[in-house]
A and B are shown apart, each in its own frame.
Chain A
Amino acid sequence: MSRCVQSSGRMLIVSAACLTLSACITSRIEDAREGMTGIEGDEAVVILAKSYHLGNETEDKYINCIEDALARGSKGLRVIPHKQFVDSLFPWFEPRTAPAETKGLPKLMGRPGVAERIADQNVRYIIWLDGDTDRVAGGGSLSCAAGPGGGGCFGFAWWTNDADYNASVWDLKGLESAGTVTADVSGTSFLPALVIPIPLIARARAAACKGLAQQLRTFIVDDPGV
């Protein structure tokens, strides 16, 4: 009987913890427009990471996530997979050779076969991603033990991840910058443990992906001048 009461007590505490604690996410998505945008139905976009030669550490996972999010849905954009685009234009979009500024676009387009290859794929916008997700703070302590009668954990841990990304949109029609979209997401995760650890994870990178993709779609499709 007492065992049952003890077990119910634990469940109650765990449930209370679940209800009172939840992961926190704060996000700020902004854009800065430099020119008119818009996209035709058969035109495509490409998502690329800025060069790691310049210290950029944008994760492959994040690029794939943005590609999927932009292409998804009935109003999805036509997205050319970044590997396919880079291979088709080898060696002009390699980390070492890719243009760092729109100033380099006319010269790039003048190289043999480049303009034709881009036109074949009907790429209208190149979106350059810069940034990464870092753990910026953390604390608490959690210990686990196991014995012949069973095991369990006790304690509390927390950490904060900061996902900070910047997307520069280049318009290949006018060979100019269309503007930038930024996502700054901070997420604090908690891990309370009372016998069983209950992870309350704040997915900062996923939130930054969703927010940036939504804003990018609005930025490219919607023209404020219309």
Chain B
Amino acid sequence: MRAKIRSLIGGALLAVLATGCGSHVTLDPPTIPTPLIDKMPLSIALRIPSEFEHFVHEDEVLGREHWTIDLGRSNAALFTQLLGFMFEEVTILGPDDDAGILSIDALIEPSIDAFEFSVPSQSKTDTYAVWIRYRVKVYDSAGDLFANWPLSAYGKSEQTGLTGEAPLKRAAVLAMRDAAALMIMNLDKSTAISSLKDRPAVAVSAAAQVEAEAEIEAETEAIAEEQAPQTPQRREVVLPPPGPVSGPAELSMGPDDDDHSGSVLEGKDDE
């Protein structure tokens, strides 16, 4: 009987020591309440990249505690739910799904730029805190990058119980809820996504673009032949931006550049 008690106490002590050395936290998909907002009259698609859907953060705190935070499907669930509340029509796409066949006003692709957290031993307080830096890319109906918005969310929770798992989970959920509030407040302000409503597609597919380039080249050659005795003159041709097949266009535009057929809204980083 004594040996049993001893082994039980030993086991409990080992468990406490093990939790002291680090933790593995797995988040359950959070739910957000139905927001008090008017839906935007847009038809959008949400593309969830696989690294966003299976985000795992590993860190060593002060060189002692090893933490593994598995956000799992929580972010995908959050954005699916949130955009469902924010827009009239939402189509969920997998990482490899082609949005070209859909009749949509915009495509939204979220990602995580950075994940950070602090525990009481670092902050010298009784709280756990989580920061998540998201990036929301908005593409227009032609597949061109229309806006690129980084947003930082923050959640904080008090220490409860013996281990840090529950408060850290709560802090992460609060950070996600903070991101949801920020998206509701500032998505349109920072990305002007509502201006994409019924906007005509300006880009062409990669194949059509190659065809157009060949046509222009032939035309240029014919003109050059006609003007052979004269000084050759270069004709400036503005090509439409590459379509979705060739990947998203990263367009940067200075204030004086006006020869681009499109621009990317660099959203303000909302801290």
Contacts and interface: CB of A to CB of B under 8 A. Distances in A.
Interface string A107-148: 000011110010000000000000000000000000000000
Given A52-B156, A53-B154, A97-B185, A90 B178 contact: no
Interface string B175-189: 001101110110000
B36 A96 contact: no
B156 A117 contact: no
Interface string B27-41: 000001111111000
Contact of B33 (A53, A87, A97): A87
Contacts of A42: none
A57 B181 contact: no
B36 A97 contact: no
Q: Which of A57, A90, A112 has the most CB of B within 10 A?
A: A90
Contacts of B178: 94-96
B247 to A, nearest CB: 34
A221 to B, nearest CB: 30
Given A57-B127, A112-B37, A112-B38, A91 B180 contact: yes
Contacts of A117: 36
B184 A91 contact: yes
**Chief secondary structure at chain B's binding surface:** mixed
B158 interface: yes
Interface in B171-221: 174, 177-178, 180-182, 184-185
B66 to A, nearest CB: 27
B35 A90 contact: yes
B154 A89 contact: no
B181 A114 contact: no
A52 B34 CA distance: 23
Contact of A94 (B34, B37, B158, B177): B177
Interface residues of B, number: 20
Contacts of A111: 36-37
A90 B35 CA distance: 5
B156 A91 contact: no
B41 to A, nearest CB: 14
Contact of B158 (A53, A60, A96, A112): A60
A180 B178 CA distance: 28
Contact of B36 (A52, A59, A95, A114): A114
Contacts of B38: 112
Contact of A90 (B33, B156, B174, B182): B33
Contacts of A60: 158
A92 interface: yes
Contacts of B36: 89-92, 111-114, 117
B181 A94 contact: yes
A59 B181 contact: no
A52 B185 CA distance: 18
A91 B181 contact: yes
A117 B181 CA distance: 18
A52 B171 CA distance: 12
A88 interface: yes
B155 to A, nearest CB: 9
A96 B127 contact: no
B235 to A, nearest CB: 53
Contacts of A94: 177-178, 181
Nearest to A61: B158
A101 B230 CA distance: 74
Nearest to A112: B38
A91 B32 CA distance: 9
Contacts of A95: 174, 178
Given A90-B181, A91-B185, 17 more contacts: A52-B156, A53-B154, A57-B127, A59-B158, A90-B33, A90-B35, A90-B36, A91-B180, A91-B181, A91-B184, A94-B178, A96-B178, A96-B181, A96-B185, A112-B37, A112-B38, A114-B36
Interface of B: 32-38, 125, 127, 154, 156, 158, 174, 177-178, 180-182, 184-185
8 closest residue pairs by CB, A with B: A91-B181, A113-B36, A90-B33, A94-B181, A87-B33, A52-B156, A90-B35, A91-B184
24 contacts: A53-B154, A57-B127, A59-B158, A60-B158, A87-B33, A88-B33, A89-B36, A90-B32, A90-B36, A91-B35, A91-B37, A91-B180, A91-B185, A92-B36, A94-B178, A96-B178, A96-B181, A96-B185, A97-B185, A111-B37, A112-B38, A113-B36, A114-B36, A117-B36
